[in-house]
Amino acid sequence: MLRLRNFLDQHCENKGLIQVIDGLMVACKDIAYKVQLGSLAGVLGSAEKENVQGENQKKLDVIANDLIKSALRGMPQVKGLASEEEADPVACNPNGEFLVLFDPLDGSSNIDVNVTVGTIFSVLQSNPEDDATHEATYLQIGREQIAAGYVLYGPSTLLVLSTGKGVYSFTLDPRVGEFYLQREKIRIPTTTKEFAINMSNQRFWLPQMQEYVGDLLRGEDGPLGKRYNMRWIASMVAEIHRILTRGGIFLYPYDSREPNKPGKLRLMYEGNPMSMLIEQAGGKASTAFEDIMTVEPTSIHQRVSVVMGSADEVESVVNYHRS
């Protein structure tokens, strides 16, 4: 079995990037260990404070953020970082080449019920003259990402990674603390009969989205002509992992609960990295109007409408929105 480090040495010419991924995984293994111990490590429950987005932080949100932050700050290759749990970007090493954006613990509403959560990350290249304390330094479109991935803390701990040459997954062997390659060049089936959306928001969606989901629910009697199954885990990492395993479509579209925000999920450290993985696996990732990875970012914490997964199904959603 091929160890992650050996895989990277064989598949990635960028030695600095290898160091960054290696360093990130040191922090993620620590997070995996704490998630596994749960209440035995005293890490469950609320941190009794809010992040910059006004969301209640869980203890593990804060712990995961601190672990990743201190790992990245210690790396000479990393110039700066931005996190869901940090109001502002954090400068690391002035001579560093890379910017790392991350959601330290996605799906954290699931921690206390022992359901899968994960860390999502996106790596960008910086210019030597860029100031890592400036938000503008980080505002690159998703197509500029040089690597993206997530670590899933589920029954097994998995890393799913792309450095722009396909998607690979690795499983952590906690007995030796190493990730081993398990799946190569992952491909998402083009068609699907499985969708994931939070149906409780139905009345707040755009009419086009209501029409599309209405047609899904009509099954073989509707215009889509097939019976669909539904899943909702409320952990984007877990949903995307299911789609990378057996296909499907994941939607967190615009809704009018907060009319000024384009969606719930964040572009820079949720939408973009997941879009890179999905596209690298042959799927599509759209806002329903344009490719997510072409959206020009205007702030680190900006929101985006998300429709991603099996290519034909995403195309179908885009077609409903053309009308």
| Positions that interact with ligand AHM (CB under 6 A) | 55, 84, 103, 106-109, 198, 234-236, 252
CB 258 within 8 A of CB 250: no
Q: Should residue 313 be labelled a site residue for Mg ion when binding is judged by CB under 5 A?
A: no
Is the CB of 228 or the CB of 269 nearer to Mg ion?
A: 269
Query: Least distance to ligand AHM from the beta carbon of 237, Å?
Result: 7
**Nearest-CB residue for ligand AHM:** 236
Contacts 24+ apart (CB under 8 A), 283-286: 283/188, 283/243, 283/308, 283/309, 283/310, 283/311, 283/314, 284/308, 284/309, 284/310, 284/311, 284/314, 284/315, 285/314, 286/314, 286/317, 286/318
For residue 235, the partner it binds in Mg ion, ligand AHM, none, with Cβ less than 5 to 8 A by kind, is ligand AHM
Judged by CB under 5 A, the stretch of 102-110, 167-175, 214-222, 301-309 that binds Mg ion is: 102-110
Query: Least distance to ligand AHM from the beta carbon of 301, Å?
Result: 11
Query: Least distance to Mg ion from the beta carbon of 118, Å?
Result: 9
CB 300 within 8 A of CB 135: yes
**Nearest-CB residue for Mg ion:** 106
For residue 234, the partner it binds in ligand AHM, Mg ion, none, with Cβ less than 5 to 8 A by kind, is ligand AHM
Is the CB of 52 or the CB of 136 nearer to ligand AHM?
A: 52
Q: Should residue 103 be labelled a site residue for Mg ion when binding is judged by CB under 5 A?
A: yes
Residue of 177, 149, 187, 245 lying closest to 5 (CA atoms): 177
CB 228 within 8 A of CB 286: no
Is the CB of 198 or the CB of 229 nearer to ligand AHM?
A: 198
Stretch (H or E) spanning 284: strand 284-286
Is the CB of 83 or the CB of 316 nearer to Mg ion?
A: 83
To 10 degrees, what angle do helices 236-246 and 272-280 make? 10
232 CA to centre of own chain: 16
Q: Should residue 106 be labelled a site residue for Mg ion when binding is judged by CB under 5 A?
A: yes
Query: Least distance to ligand AHM from the beta carbon of 108, Å?
Result: 5
Query: Least distance to ligand AHM from the beta carbon of 198, Å?
Result: 4
Query: Least distance to ligand AHM from the beta carbon of 188, Å?
Result: 18
Residue of 274, 285, 311 lying closest to 189 (CA atoms): 311
Rounded distance, CA 290 to CA 57, Å?
32
Question: What residue ranges bind Mg ion (CB under 5 A)?
Answer: 103, 106
